[in-house]
A and B are shown apart, each in its own frame.
Chain A
Amino acid sequence: MTEPVLEVRDLVKHFPVRRGLRRRTTDAVRAVDGVSFTIRAGRTLGVVGESGSGKSTLARTLLGIERPTSGQVLVDGEDVAHLSRAGRRQLRRDVQMVFQDPYTALNPRMSVGQIVGEPFAVHRVRPPRGRTSAVGELLELVGLDPGQVNRYPHQFSGGQRQRIGIARALALRPRILVCDEPVSALDVSVQGQVVNLLQDLQDELGLAYLFIAHDLGVVRHVADEIAVMYLGRLVEQGPPGDVYDRALHPYTQALLSALPVPDPAVRLTDSRAIMVEGEPPSPVDPPAGCAFHTRCPLARQLGEGARADGGTGAGRCASTPPSLEPHGAGAAHDGTAPSHRAACHFARTLPTPATVEA
């Protein structure tokens, strides 16, 4: 098995909240609060979660736009925080990003040739056969006509713009591509094309993907491993088959039950749908114990009576933060396949409601 290209250890990113005249730091938004994972070359880690769960902050921290509060990011086994100047420059080349909104990701005043060629200019790289032909090759690689280098972004459709963004990200031959909801702003018909393009590029170039999305269907299609994020933490992680069909964490189960099924024969009955009520709690002041216990349907089921009980019942949810641990079949994993882990004291599988026929 190859070494992981990207390893994240206990990554934390807090944003200070300053209040009052003296602008003292009173609190912190815990955007990312202890996240660990690894990605190998040619593999894809899909990260899912609601808005505000810290997915985008995670991406920005990996790109070096935000400085992590604590924790480590290792690219090729080297700690990013201890890199030399040259090493940091190399890191900028190794990790690239594909943005969510193709309409704001491209500078409207630059031609396609300038946009795709900018990475060469910034890093003063002279491609072997000249910048012009390198730009043409990149456009061809993402399925665009190299004759369109002189056009401007507004002359392209959303899907084409996303391809331009991908071409720019690929210019410096990165090893890791962070895709922050790369298809959620696109037409459904175009989503498929862009996803397939990303997969083809992965096979061709051996890229490692961190694929952030809230569309569970897309993530299942592309990911080799899935991580579910809630309030800045991973609550469940594992191979897509396990996570989708044998979800352990009540939050994942709720997310999956909200997934529409494009089959009229399958019907969600009300009793099967797992409802999560209310808004996610504020990341400034996350609940004690398990961050999800305030909205958790399972904690509710376990009963109000058990709440006073500090050890076994739902009371544990409010007092002890659960750690991300192997459960079920994944507990006996042999170290090669990604294990199926969940951060829940009472993790157990539920029959996925979507698969229950009405």
Chain B
Amino acid sequence: MERMTDMDRTLTPRPLAGAWRALRRRPDAVIAAVVLVLFTTMALAPRLFTRTSPRSCDIREARVDPQWAGGAHPLGTDSLGCDVLATLVHGVRPSLLLAVVVVGVALVVGVTLGLLAGYYLGWVDYLVSRTVEVFLVIPLLLAALLILSLFQGVDLGGGTFDVILLPAIVLILFSWMPYARYVRASVLETKNLDYVTAARSLGASDLRIMVRHVLPNAVGPVTAILPTSVAGIISWEAVLSFLGIGVRPPATSWGIQIEQGSEWVTGGAPHILLAPLVCLVATVLALVVLGDALRDALDPRLAR
């Protein structure tokens, strides 16, 4: 009896415990995690980092250079005299939320469609593949303008989700295709391997085969493009803001800040652009490193 309980414990693998052990062995992953935790706290509690409101702007103090830790404007002010640090800190929430929501939903949609298309082929594949191609050839900006005009004048409110709703819809619509294509391709490769045949000859359901056998071995390529997709979404958000369908003012975001700051890079105030850009690069690098480490940790073949 005692031996059986012992067996029970050894039978249930604990991938998370193993993952944590592997993660600890990589200092770069720890730094990346710290960066992400920092920005997440910033998004949840911006007042911990600045007491200045991003909306109390004094036009007489426009484009003040960074005064660092001592001054009233540690990172200077922008072209309208708003505090750069305050804008940055209050812009984290919409930026990260948008990126996470868009990549998350697009990932689920893309992976599901790609899996179904690659597994069943036939008309399912035909439908999915043609839809992917249609969405690939429609210019994003054109569709964005169309949706903008559809929703013009509709008051969406000022809640956290409401300010990112429009850009989220547009960006989800136009960012799920790569996931679908990558997953479809690797499903085609995986589904003819012997262990899938073995599961099928056992009488396993299609759902079980897809979820337990095909998908875990086919998502590899997708995890590689995830971190850069997050960066792409944040910069697209800047473009949409420029068109007026991004995050709605008076809410701020890194995208808006980058957009505004780019005018003054050569005009004597590069810090307006550099501050959000550095944060964006740090976030993306952290995601790349962490994603890489997580993939290694979860793949039993690479575990040591």
Contact = CB atoms under 8 A, between A and B. Distances in A.
Contacts of A108: 217, 300-301
B13 A111 contact: yes
A157 to B, nearest CB: 15
- Overall SS of chain B's interface: helix
A270 to B, nearest CB: 40
Interface stretch (B33-41, B67-75, B160-168, B193-201): B193-201
A107 B217 contact: yes
Given A122-B202, A154-B300, A107 B213 contact: yes
Interface in A48-92: 60, 63-65, 88-89, 92
A188 to B, nearest CB: 22
A144 B300 CA distance: 20
A101 B194 contact: yes
Contacts of A106: 195
A99 B205 CA distance: 20
A111 B200 CA distance: 19
B10 A147 contact: yes
Interface string A125-163: 000011011011000000000110110101000000000
Q: How large is the interface on A (under 10, 10 to 19, 20 to 34, 35 or more residues)?
A: 35 or more
A122 B203 contact: yes
Given A108-B300, A111-B13, A122-B203, A133 B4 contact: yes
A87 B204 CA distance: 15
Nearest to B303: A152
Contacts, number: 88
B201 A92 contact: yes
Interface string B172-210: 000000000000000000000111011111111100100
B7 A65 contact: no
Contact of B300 (A117, A152, A165): A152
A92 B203 contact: yes
21 contacts: A64-B201, A65-B197, A65-B201, A89-B203, A92-B202, A95-B201, A97-B197, A99-B194, A99-B198, A101-B194, A105-B195, A107-B217, A109-B217, A114-B13, A122-B208, A132-B7, A133-B4, A136-B7, A152-B300, A152-B303, A154-B301
5 tightest A-B contacts by CB?
A92-B203, A152-B300, A105-B194, A107-B195, A63-B201
